[in-house]
Structure 1
Amino acid sequence: MNKLDNKNAEMAPESRMTRRTFLKTGGRLFAGMLILPIPAYGYARYAEPRWVQTNKVPLTLDRLPEAMSGMRLLQFSDVHLGPYYSPDALIQLVERINNLNPDLVCFTGDLYDSAIFSEKDVIEALSGVKAAYGKFAVLGNHDYIDSAVQVSKLWKASGFQLLKNNAFKITKDRESIIVAGVDDFVKGRPDLAKALNRADPSVFTLLLSHAPDFADTASRYPVDLQLSGHSHGGQVRLPWIGPIVTPLGAKKYVDGLYKLKEGKFFLYANRGIGVSLHPVRFCCRPELTLFELHRSSAGE
């Protein structure tokens, strides 16, 4: 599938990931790892998951206000705090984020992998994220495993604006953009109509959705750019084959930039930071994405 030339399709009815689906997905990932020789497995287990890549993505957007042209937007996703990613690692990640000098920071779901732990250390780390125009987050499916309410409180305590079927306006020099966010597609109840209920449809709109396949719903709304995670890029990708398996909600859009609605709507699927199901990555490095947003001449 060509990332930059995908036709819109209707999203399947809202679904719930069952335990059977979860185990089946993990089994496929494990089976795929068995294909790799022992040295490759060692690399996938101990090297690549720690080798974070910063992708710089310039984007030219028709409806971006002139006052916001040049904005540096940082996306990170799928940290999956737990047995394979510690609060100490998160502190180092935050330092790396701040060194990129973002104007706006967005997190697209799955802060935790399973149980809540070390809340004080996590709040301290995330509170250190610096962004002049704000810090925003949405929930992912793993955030629901233990307590979505607790995770929501953690984000607020860290100075992030948690978006759950609502929107926030950012204004500079009397020009504005909308940052909207929806609930998780797998475990929650995403409602974009509710999120944009009070938003001006003529204003540039950035949407945060954990599941990238939600783009087929978002394409029916006045959304200019959607940022998502969830897929992990497949987490394990084989040469000439691609990802072995991707989760529900990331079957169509898996990794990188997609151009929809004849270039009027962009989607970016971030590979995430952490791991889930199995502590490996292969040909699929963890990712920070720094977008450089520019207003196109067509928007003048």
Structure 2
Amino acid sequence: MVIVFLLLALAVFGGLHWYVWRRTVRDTTARPGRARRLGTAAIVGGPVLMFAAVTAERAGAPFLLQQVLAWPGFLWMALSLYLLLGLLAGEFVRPLLRRFLERRDARSAEAEPAGVGASPEVVAAGTGHPARPRPETAAPTPPETAGDASAPTDATPAPGAARGPSRRLFVSRVVGGAAAAAAVGTVGYGTYDVLRGPAVKRVTVPLARLPRAAHGYRIAVVSDIHLGPVLGRGFAERVVDTINSTQPDLIAVVGDLVDGSVKDLGPAAAPLARLRARHGAYFVTGNHEYFSGAEQWVEHVRELGLRPLENARTELAHFDLAGVNDVAGEEEGQGPDFVKALGDRDRERACVLLAHQPVQIHEAVEHGVDLQLSGHTHGGQLWPGNLVAELANPTLAGLERYGDTQLYVSRGAGAWGPPTRVGAPSDITVVELASKRA
């Protein structure tokens, strides 16, 4: 069944790329030539680089090779998506544009002067005298011009009749060019939006059990930084500077910090040592840590000054802060353990839980958590990916209530795969706790 599914997925993937090639390359070139060969090379090379980039990252290939493959391969992932969407939208435009051009050509043909090509008798109509043909007009056609292809014949198409093929080519070029321009513009702006760094978002969350003394307590929540072959040390510095500028009481890094090994990305993560908060910075694993050597990263972030919460809890002055491992750790025997983290706590105290995936909210409700802070979804990252992400997660982004427990989901600071976001801007959220007793 797995093989059948893979073959089916490959067939669909290939079919979609064939459609993109047909509409952007074959239909926009009048005949085989250099332009068609270059276009074909781009459509074939794009997915090859995309698969190579993903494979190199997952297989732990030399980091330089990962960096070389990542930019073109992952950007093609985003570009092909919006190129496909643009071409599909263009299918509705094509018949309208053809109809417009046909009507325009018909009006042009009707507007030609009535005397053009008319017989002498018609030209002389109304004068009372038949027109006498000129000698040169009546002269027989010289034998040497009888086979001239440029000479008008009865087979010469009427005005507009010969425009069919060129009209189709024109329509294909307009629609294909518009789709390509829209895709490049969308991906270009979405990439710029990620590379310039996340914006600060602020949300107030009232907690019934929070004491008055903790009213206004600020937690800077950051998730899904995804340091890797594309987003490196410079991006980490922008994230750290943004967090520190909010002057939080506590910093929560809720998973998916990296996409790679400590050996390759240790220097990129080094700026995290500059994180500053009154009550420190805390870290829980995300699913991507388990693709990248979770144990090594937990130890490394501890060396950088962050405190990992591996199914653990710490009692702060006015509330409990707990953290659980990501569900991806179950395959390594390091999955989430809510009993270990929360089982023996005093339920009279407010509790804030750090858990990477929103799907962990149901166990949080069972254990009487007041607020769960999560990431993982990226808010969908690339529209219309949000439609798929909404099906897989109880909350896509923002604040929602589940019984007596509230869940806040950050869209994340970085991006996985293409360093691009469309319709899901990145964020670092300052969650301000409010006491209902204040």
Matched, 1:255 2:397: yes
Separation (CA, whole Å) in 2 of partners of 1:235 and 1:121: 23
Matched, 1:33 2:82: yes
Matched AA of 1:155: V
Matched, 1:243 2:386: yes
Matched, 1:122 2:269: yes
The share of aligned pairs that are identical, in percent, is 32
Cα offset for 1:115?
3.3
Separation (CA, whole Å) in 2 of partners of 1:141 and 1:118: 17
Separation (CA, whole Å) in 2 of partners of 1:121 and 1:142: 16
Q: Which residue of 1 aligns with 2:221?
A: 75
Matched, 1:284 2:390: no
Q: Which residue of 2 aligns with 1:216?
A: 362
Separation (CA, whole Å) in 2 of partners of 1:98 and 1:51: 14
TM-score by length of 2: 0.56
Separation (CA, whole Å) in 1 of partners of 2:279 and 2:336: 25
Matched, 1:162 2:308: yes
The answer to whether the 8 Å contact 1:50/1:286 transfers is: no
Separation (CA, whole Å) in 1 of partners of 2:223 and 2:321: 16
Matched AA of 1:214: Q
Matched AA of 2:431: F
The answer to whether the 8 Å contact 1:226/1:266 transfers is: yes
Secondary structure of the equivalent of 1:58? Answer: strand
Matched, 1:108 2:251: no
RMSD: 2.4
Matched, 1:270 2:384: no
Note the alpha carbon deviations across 1:275-299, whole angstroms, 9 max, x for none: 11332210111110001111013xx
Q: More strand by proportion, 1 or 2?
A: 1
Q: 1:121 to 1:146 in 2, by over 3 A?
A: closer
Note the alpha carbon deviations across 1:139-169, whole angstroms, 9 max, x for none: 0111111210111011111111101111111
Separation (CA, whole Å) in 2 of partners of 1:237 and 1:49: 18
Cα offset for 1:66?
1.8
Q: Which residue of 2 aligns with 1:96?
A: 242
Q: More helix by proportion, 1 or 2?
A: 2
Matched AA of 2:388: V
Separation (CA, whole Å) in 2 of partners of 1:73 and 1:46: 27
Q: 1:226 to 1:233 in 2, by over 3 A?
A: same
Indicate which of 209, 212, 236 corresponds to 1:63. 209
Q: Which residue of 1 aligns with 2:352?
A: 206
Q: Which residue of 1 aligns with 2:160?
A: none
Separation (CA, whole Å) in 2 of partners of 1:106 and 1:233: 18
The answer to whether the 8 Å contact 2:233/2:267 transfers is: no
Matched, 1:232 2:378: yes
Q: Which residue of 2 aligns with 1:43?
A: 189
Cα offset for 1:32?
4.1
Separation (CA, whole Å) in 2 of partners of 1:79 and 1:93: 8
Secondary structure of the equivalent of 1:246? Answer: helix
Number of residue pairs matched by the alignment: 264
Matched AA of 2:365: S
Indicate which of 287, 293, 300 corresponds to 2:433. 293
Matched AA of 1:182: V
Secondary structure of the equivalent of 1:222? Answer: coil
The answer to whether the 8 Å contact 2:210/2:350 transfers is: yes
Q: 1:231 to 1:60 in 2, by over 3 A?
A: same
Larger radius of gyration: 2
Separation (CA, whole Å) in 2 of partners of 1:40 and 1:48: 13
Q: Which moved more, 1:89-98 or 1:227-236?
A: 89-98
Cα offset for 1:245?
3.1
Secondary structure of the equivalent of 2:238? Answer: helix
Unaligned runs of 5+ in 2: 1-5, 11-49, 52-76, 87-181
Q: 1:78 to 1:247 in 2, by over 3 A?
A: farther
The answer to whether the 8 Å contact 1:48/1:282 transfers is: no
Unaligned runs of 5+ in 1: 1-19
Q: 1:48 to 1:158 in 2, by over 3 A?
A: closer
The answer to whether the 8 Å contact 2:258/2:288 transfers is: yes
Q: 1:49 to 1:120 in 2, by over 3 A?
A: closer
